[in-house]
């Protein structure tokens, strides 16, 4: 139980951390990409601007000096392309020119492919006349840019992974430390419950034995009123004994040894219980029936499983009024055994359903002293089911009835059932 809580704590902690780190990484990536891209574009614009000085009009003919910029100022990743005022290409220099058509003034173009190429177009204006001479498009391969981004991605990804690994280890140690006192006090509480209920048993047994002796005396020795008092003491004592036994059982459930487990036939176990409860059902005029599969092999503790289903059947009979029905159906669904205990009893509201498995919880109307229960029956049933890696679910409607569904893993030993 505590391991599951620890794991859940650690997992949610890591999830939170991972989302914070991802948001951080995405922000860094976006800002960095934007700044780098801007830098490239600005450099290209400056290069293009420089190259416009080479365009000049000679006898109405647009000319440009091919030797500018010199190979030293234009490195091997950059290129220039000159256009006339009508946008016709009149010459280029360098490897990475764009094949895209010329776009307008200051347009930034990025061409996909390997490598990606970015180009910036600037206008060339005749300084004397102010006339538009043409355009220069400076471009450059984005190889280096992409390379830098890739390194950044690796850096961020690696950093996040290492950070998560480290905090996973640290978190595991911390949650263990934080849970330790809670686990200890829980264990102490359970030990106390076990000890207390164990210690209560002997005096209660003594009271019960003495009351039985007193009740066995012939009528003449006691007055009539005394008999009733003794019977009340006997009934209260047996209730208290039941309660202490339930408490002891719950306190020990987590520790019951697996070696008492055996492959058993759940169908037989249920049939036995139906036979056992038949007289009680007949007394209340309730039709108690079993149906479904005849052989359902299951690995488990027979005594505890009997207790689980006895609690459910007893409830169904208890909370169903005379003339009703209680049906027990069991079958195999895939790798699971599904047992449904359905009654036509008083039912429960949805608020009541939420609390029905709580220890000591009883619906208001069943709280009377006469009905005897302590509200531990379903808590015990659930603890047993969970100990067998099973579940109990319940559906109910007030005045219509309730249906408790128990799911338990079927034994893989198939039809080899020990009876
Ligand atoms: N089949 C049912 N139909 C209607 N209400 C039910 C049914 N089963 C359980 N309940 C409600 O759930 C409550 C808790 O049940 P639970 O078996 O835990 O305790 P209990 O029967 O009151 O006492 P005990 O500890 O003796 O079993 C009951 O008091 C009752 O109000
Ligand atoms: Mg009960």
Report CA dihedral (48, 98, 78, 107) to the nearest 10 degrees: 30
Q: What is the DSSP string of 61-126?
A: EEEE-TT-S-TTTS-TTEEEEEEETTS-EEEEESS----SPP--TT-EEEE-SSS-EEEEEEEEE-
> Measured in Å, how far apart are the chain's first and last C-alpha atoms?
33
The tokens of 155 are what?
């850096």
Residue ending a domain, choose from 197, 232, 253:
253
How many structural domains does the chain have? 3
Question: Residue 169's pLDDT is what?
Answer: 96
98 shares its domain with 199: no
**Which one of 314, 377, 401 would you pick to mutate in the ligand 1 pocket, going by the greatest count of ligand atoms within 8 A of its CB?**
377
Task: Look at ligand 1, atom 31, and give the residue with the nearest C-alpha.
Answer: 363
If you search the block for the tokens 């614009």, which residue do you land on? Answer: 45
pLDDT in tens, 381-395: 999 999 899 999 999
- Residue 411 is predicted with a pLDDT of 83
Of all ligands present, the nearest one to the C-alpha of 246 is 1
pLDDT of residue 215: 85
Question: 179 and 117 share a domain?
Answer: no
Q: Are residues 282 and 403 both part of a single domain? A: yes
Residue 417 lies in a domain: no
Judged by DSSP in three states, 214 sits in helix
Whole-number pLDDT of residue 371: 61
pLDDT at 249: 83
Ligand nearest to the CA of 243: 1
Same domain? For 378 and 338 the reply is: yes
Q: From 141, 175, 191, give the residue that closes a domain.
A: 141
User: For residues 279, 280, 282 and 287, what is the CA-based torsion angle, rounded to 10 degrees?
Assistant: -110
> If you ran DSSP here, which 8-state letter would residue 358 be given?
S
Residue 332 φ/ψ, nearest 5 degrees: -95, 130
What residues pair up with 61 in beta bridges, in sequence order? 58
Element housing 311 (H / E): helix 302-318
Q: Are 405 and 299 members of one domain?
A: yes
| pLDDT for the residue numbered 397 | 93
Residues facing 46 on adjacent strands:
none
pLDDT for residue 84: 86
Are residues 343 and 261 both part of a single domain? yes
Cα of 378 from ligand 2 centre, angstroms: 6
Residues near ligand 1 (Cβ within 6 A): 311, 315-316, 319, 343, 345-348, 356, 361-363, 366, 373-379, 402
Q: What is the atom index within ligand 1 of the atom nearest the CA of 341?
A: 1
Query: Are 372 and 388 part of one and the same domain?
Result: yes
- Under-50 pLDDT residues of the chain: 70, 414-419
- Could you read off the pLDDT of 249-308 as tens digits, one per residue? 888 776 656 667 889 999 999 999 999 999 999 999 999 999 998 889 999 988 889 999
Using alpha carbons, select from 130, 109, 102, 122 the residue that is nearest to residue 52: 122
Same structural domain for residues 268 and 401? Answer: yes
Which residues form the domain of 159?
A: 150-253
CATH code for the domain in which residue 276 is found:
3.30.565.10
Residue 415 has a pLDDT of 45
Burial 229-238 (b: 16+ CB within 10 A, else e): ebeebbeebe
Which pLDDT score is estimated for 66? Answer: 64
Task: For residue 5, report the distance from its CA to the centre of ligand 2, in Å.
Answer: 29
Q: What is the pLDDT of residue 417?
A: 42
- Same domain? For 262 and 360 the reply is yes
Residues 318, 270, single domain; the answer is yes
The answer to whether residues 409 and 388 touch, using CB atoms and an 8 Å cutoff, is: yes
The reported pLDDT for the residue numbered 193 is 87
The pLDDT assigned to 256 comes to 59
Residue 416: inside a domain: no
């Amino acid at each position: 139980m505590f391991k599951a809580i620890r794991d859940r704590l650690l997992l949610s902690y890591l999830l939170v951390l991972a989302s914070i780190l991802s948001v951080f990484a995405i922000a860094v990536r976006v800002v960095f990409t934007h700044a780098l891209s801007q830098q490239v574009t600005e450099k290209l614009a400056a290069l293009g601007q420089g190259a416009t000085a080479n365009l000049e009009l000679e006898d109405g003919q647009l000319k440009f000096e091919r030797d500018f910029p010199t190979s030293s100022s234009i490195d091997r990743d950059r290129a220039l392309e000159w256009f006339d005022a009508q946008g016709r290409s009149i010459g280029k220099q360098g490897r990475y020119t764009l094949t895209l058509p010329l776009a307008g003034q200051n347009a930034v173009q990025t061409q996909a492919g390997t490598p990606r190429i970015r180009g910036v177009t600037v206008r060339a204006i005749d300084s004397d006349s102010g006339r538009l001479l043409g355009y220069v498009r400076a471009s450059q391969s984005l190889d280096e840019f992409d390379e830098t981004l890739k390194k950044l991605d690796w850096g961020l990804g690696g950093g996040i992974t290492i950070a998560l690994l480290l905090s996973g280890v640290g978190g595991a140690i911390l949650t263990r430390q934080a849970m330790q006192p809670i686990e200890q006090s829980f264990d102490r509480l359970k030990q106390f419950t076990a000890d207390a209920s164990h210690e209560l048993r002997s005096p209660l047994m003594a009271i019960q034995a003495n009351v039985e002796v007193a009740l066995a005396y012939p009528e003449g020795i006691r007055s009539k009123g005394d008999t009733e008092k003794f019977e009340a003491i006997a009934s209260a004592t047996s209730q208290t004994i039941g309660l202490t036994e339930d408490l002891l059982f719950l306190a020990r459930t987590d520790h019951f040894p697996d070696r008492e487990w055996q492959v058993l036939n759940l169908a037989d176990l249920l049939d036995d219980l139906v036979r056992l409860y038949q007289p009680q059902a007949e007394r209340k005029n309730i039709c108690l029936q079993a149906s479904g599969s005849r052989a359902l092999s299951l690995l488990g503790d027979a005594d505890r499983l009997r207790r689980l289903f006895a609690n459910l059947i007893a409830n169904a009979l208890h909370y169903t009024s005379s003339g009703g029905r209680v049906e027990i159906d069991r079958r195999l669904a895939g790798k699971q055994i599904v047992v449904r205990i359905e009654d036509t009893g008083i039912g429960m509201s949805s608020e009541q359903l939420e609390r029905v498995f709580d220890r000591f919880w009883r619906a208001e109307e069943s709280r009377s002293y006469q009905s005897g229960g302590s509200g531990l029956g379903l808590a015990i049933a659930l603890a047993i089911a969970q100990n067998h890696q099973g579940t109990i679910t319940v559906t109910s409607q007030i005045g219509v009835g309730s249906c408790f569904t128990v799911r338990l893993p079927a034994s893989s030993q198939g039809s080899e059932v020990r009876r």
